[in-house]
Amino acid sequence: MILRYTILFLCLIVCVAQGSSSAPAAQEEPAASSSDASDRTALAITIYNSNIALVKEERKVSLSHGVGALRFMDVAAQIMPATVHIKSLTNPDALVILEQNYEYDLLNPQKLLDKYVGRNVRLYQKNQYTDKEEVVTAKVLSNNGGPIFQVGNDVTFGHPGRILFPGVPENLIAKPTLVWLLNNSAPAHQKIEASYLTGGITWRADYVVTLNDRDDRASLGGWVTIDNKSGGMYQNARVKLVAGDINRVKDEPAYERRDVRLAMAAAPAPQFKEEEFFEYHIYTLQRPSTIKDNQIKQISFVEANDIPVAKELVLRGDASYYWNQSTDPVQKKIGVFIEISNKKEQNLGMPLPKGIVRAYKQDKEGSLQFVGEDKIEHTPKDEKIRIKLGDAFDVVATRKQTDWKKSAKNIYESSYEVSIRNHKKEDVTVKVIEPIPGDWSMLNNSHEFRKTTSHGVEFIVPVPKDKEATLTYSVRMKF
The pLDDT tens digits of the residues spanning 415-456 come to 999 999 999 999 999 999 999 998 999 999 999 999 998 889
405 and 429 inside one domain: yes
In terms of pLDDT, which residue wins out, 21 or 239?
239
Inform me whether the pLDDT recorded for 310 exceeds 90: yes
118 and 191 inside one domain: no
Per the domain annotation, does 19 fall within a domain? no
In terms of pLDDT, which residue wins out, 260 or 324?
324
Q: Read off the pLDDT of each residue in 110-132 and give the average, rounded to a whole number.
A: 82
Return the SS3 of 168.
Answer: coil
Inform me whether the pLDDT recorded for 171 exceeds 70: no
Q: Find the domain containing 158 and state its range.
A: 109-164
| pLDDT (0 to 100) of residue 410 | 87
99 and 187 inside one domain: yes
| pLDDT (0 to 100) of residue 263 | 39
Inform me whether the pLDDT recorded for 464 exceeds 90: yes
CA dihedral 349, 350, 355, 356 (to 10 degrees): -40
Task: Give the pLDDT band of residue 387 (cuts 50, 70, 90).
Answer: very high
Residue 3, exposed/middle/buried by CB under 10 A (0-12, 13-18, 19+)?
A: exposed
Q: Read off the pLDDT of each residue in 15-20 and give the average, rounded to a whole number.
A: 45
Q: How many domains does the chain have?
A: 3
Inform me whether the pLDDT recorded for 168 exceeds 80: no
Element (H, E) at 16: helix 2-22
Of 141, 164, 187, which marks where a domain is finished?
164
Q: Read off the pLDDT of each residue in 284-305 and give the average, rounded to a whole number.
A: 92
Inform me whether the pLDDT recorded for 172 exceeds 80: no
| pLDDT (0 to 100) of residue 106 | 61
Average pLDDT, the chain: 85
Per the domain annotation, does 355 fall within a domain? no
| pLDDT (0 to 100) of residue 309 | 96
331 and 450 inside one domain: yes
| pLDDT (0 to 100) of residue 9 | 45
152 and 38 inside one domain: no
The pLDDT tens digits of the residues spanning 51-61 come to 999 999 999 99
153 and 194 inside one domain: no
**Domain CATH code at residue 148:** 2.30.30
Per the domain annotation, does 232 fall within a domain? no
The lowest-confidence range among 118-132, 375-389, 421-435 is: 118-132
The pLDDT tens digits of the residues spanning 249-285 come to 765 444 444 433 333 344 445 688 888 888 888 889 9
317 and 464 inside one domain: yes
Phi, then psi, of 95 in degrees rounded to 5 = -120, 120
461 and 396 inside one domain: yes
Q: Read off the pLDDT of each residue in 37-42 and give the average, rounded to a whole number.
A: 94
In terms of pLDDT, which residue wins out, 390 or 179?
390
Report the percentage of the chain scoring pLDDT > 70: 87
Per the domain annotation, does 294 fall within a domain? no
Return the SS3 of 383.
Answer: coil
- Would you give the distance in Å from CA 300 to the centre of its chain? 18
Per the domain annotation, does 335 fall within a domain? yes
Per the domain annotation, does 20 fall within a domain? no
171: DSSP letter: T
318 and 454 inside one domain: yes
142 and 117 inside one domain: yes
The lowest-confidence range among 12-26, 155-169, 464-478 is: 12-26
Which value, in Å, is the radius of gyration of the alpha carbons in the chain?
Answer: 37
- Would you give the distance in Å from CA 434 to the centre of its chain? 39
| pLDDT (0 to 100) of residue 470 | 97
